[in-house]
Amino acid sequence: MAGTARKDREMAMNAKRQLGECSDPVERLRLQCLARGSSGIKGLGRTFKIMDDDNSRSLDLKEFLKGLSDYGVQIEKKEAIDLFQIFDKDRSGTIDFDEFLLTLRPEMSKARKEVVMEAFRKLDKTGDGVITVEDLQGVYNVKHHPKYQNGEWTEDQIFRKFLDNFDSPYDKDGKVTLW
C-alpha cells in the first residue's frame, strides 16, 4: 500500500509540474485531474453525473462550466468553452459521458492494452466479443464473496454487480464489450 501511495504522490507532483508547461486544453484538464492523484479522472467522472442538473445523461455548456468550477478546475471561460467543443464530438451541443471520458482518458500503453485484451479473452468464454453473466460463471467464483456467504446477494446479483463495473454507466445491460 505504501508503494501505491508513493506512486500516487509522484504522479500528482509530475502532473503539477507538467501543468505549467502545457497549452493543450484537454491535456491541461487531464493534468489538473491527475494532480489530485490516481482517482482524479474517476472523481471528475463522478462529478460529471453530479453536473448533470437535468438528469439528461449529458451536459450542456452551462452545466459543464458550472461543474468545472465546482470541481475546482482552474480554467479561463474561453478555454472551457473551447474544451466543451472538443468534448462534443458529435456536435450535438451536449457532451455525453462516453464522449467526456474517452476524450479525457489518456491513451493506454501497449503493455496495458495487452493485459486488458488477455483479461477480456479469459472472461469471454464464448469468444463472441461480449462478456455476459454466462461467460463469468465458468471463470469467476462467487462462493467467497462476503455478500454471497451471508446470503445478502445471489450468485447472479454478484455477477451483474461485477459486470456493472465495466458496463456503460447509463446502459447497464449486463453485457460488456471491448470497445
**Domain 2-104 identical in fold to domain 110-177:** yes
As given in the structure block, the three cell numbers for residue 103 are 476524450
- Across the chain, mean pLDDT equals 84
Higher pLDDT, 98 or 66: 66
Domain ranges of the chain: 2-104, 110-177
In whole angstroms, give the CA distance from residue 59 to residue 26. Answer: 17
88 close to 98: Cβ distance less than 8 angstroms: no
83 close to 25: Cβ distance less than 8 angstroms: yes
In whole angstroms, give the CA distance from residue 62 to residue 59. Answer: 8
For range 15-22, the mean pLDDT: 83
In whole angstroms, give the CA distance from residue 42 to residue 34. Answer: 10
Nearest to 121 by CA among 60, 177, 169: 177
In whole angstroms, give the CA distance from residue 100 to residue 59. Answer: 9
Q: What is the pLDDT of residue 1?
A: 42
Q: What is the pLDDT of residue 81?
A: 94
E strands, 42-136, in order? 58-59, 95-96, 130-131
Which amino acid makes up residue 17?
Answer: R
Q: Which contiguous run of DSSP H or E holds residue 177? A: strand 176-177
As given in the structure block, the three cell numbers for residue 108 are 493506454
For range 94-102, the mean pLDDT: 82
- Fold exhibited by the domain 2-104: Recoverin; domain 1 (1.10.238)
CATH class of 110-177: mainly alpha
The string of pLDDT tens digits covering residues 135-177 is: 988 788 899 999 999 999 999 999 888 888 887 766 778 888 8
